């Protein structure tokens, strides 16, 4: 039997995409819109208290393009917590003016082909990666991906040492972008349609293109990578909410 990679998991993650019904929003009265935004801001304040207490994290983005209008990225301790957050928002007045576009469910995952000689849950550096605060950079890029399992070319049938070599090569390619582009990688095997979700954060959207293009030439990406849809967005901070929804 081929050797599986060792993984350790942290917070569960939900990427929730919504499409704004602008026609319905424009038809609402000023009082209805004000109430919806007031309710939404109160919900965000609740999420901020959860983040301050280090029981999760969140960020909201406006999506560029026609795939969605809004993306919520939510981190919580359990799958049940994610479901409660999703339902809580769906019950708000603002959600009445939105339609679900798509979603992605996963869990923060750190992996290693090397033996774990210490308890990772006692390592402060590892804990900060398993239970992070979502970076509040200006731009976000999210995409799901899997590894090829073809009849003749199958990532999961490669020996562990070969997979390790290819992944280390991939990591080395991305190293020059470490300071400019932050990332959160989540595992979704058994949770969603792809095997991993990758969320990138930076203050210069062009860096997403440069990083992803550079890694396309790595064998692990060129031969074995299968990619889903890409979503690009701008962070929606509290002081921009009124501007975004204003008519």
Out of 143, 177, 194, 231, which one is annotated catalytic? 143
Compute and round to an integer the Cα radius of gyration of the chain: 19
What is 61-109 written as a DSSP string? Answer: EEEESSS-SEEEEEEESSHHHHHHHHHHHHTSTGGGGEEEEEEEEEEEE
Residue listed under structure tokens 């050797």: 3
Q: Bridge-partner residues for 184, per DSSP? A: 199
What are 83-90's contacts with CB under 8 Å, separation 24+?
85/14, 85/47, 86/14, 86/16, 88/43, 89/16, 89/43
Active site residue 61: no
Residues forming the active site? 143
């Amino acid at each position: 039997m081929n050797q599986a990679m060792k993984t350790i998991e942290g917070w569960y993650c939900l990427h929730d995409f919504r499409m704004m019904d602008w026609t319905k929003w424009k038809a609402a009265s000023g009082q209805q819109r004000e109430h919806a935004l007031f309710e939404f801001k109160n919900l965000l304040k609740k999420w901020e208290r959860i983040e301050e207490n280090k029981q999760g994290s969140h960020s909201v983005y406006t999506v560029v393009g026609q795939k969605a209008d809004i993306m919520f990225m939510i981190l919580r301790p359990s799958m049940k917590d994610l479901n409660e957050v999703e339902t809580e928002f769906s019950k708000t007045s603002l959600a009445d003016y939105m339609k679900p576009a798509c979603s992605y469910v996963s869990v923060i995952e750190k992996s290693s082909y090397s033996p774990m000689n210490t308890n990772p849950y006692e390592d402060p550096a590892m804990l900060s990666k398993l239970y992070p605060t979502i970076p509040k950079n200006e731009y976000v890029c999210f995409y799901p991906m899997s590894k090829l399992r073809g009849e003749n070319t199958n990532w999961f049938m490669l020996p562990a040492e070969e997979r390790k070599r290819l992944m280390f090569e991939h990591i080395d390619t991305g190293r020059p972008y470490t300071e400019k582009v932050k990332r959160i990688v989540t595992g979704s095997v058994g949770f969603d349609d792809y095997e991993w979700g990758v969320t990138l954060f930076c203050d210069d959207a062009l860096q997403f293109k440069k990083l992803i293009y550079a890694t396309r030439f790595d064998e692990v990406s060129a031969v074995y990578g299968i990619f889903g849809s890409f979503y690009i967005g701008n962070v929606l901070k509290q002081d921009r909410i009124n501007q975004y929804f204003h008519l």
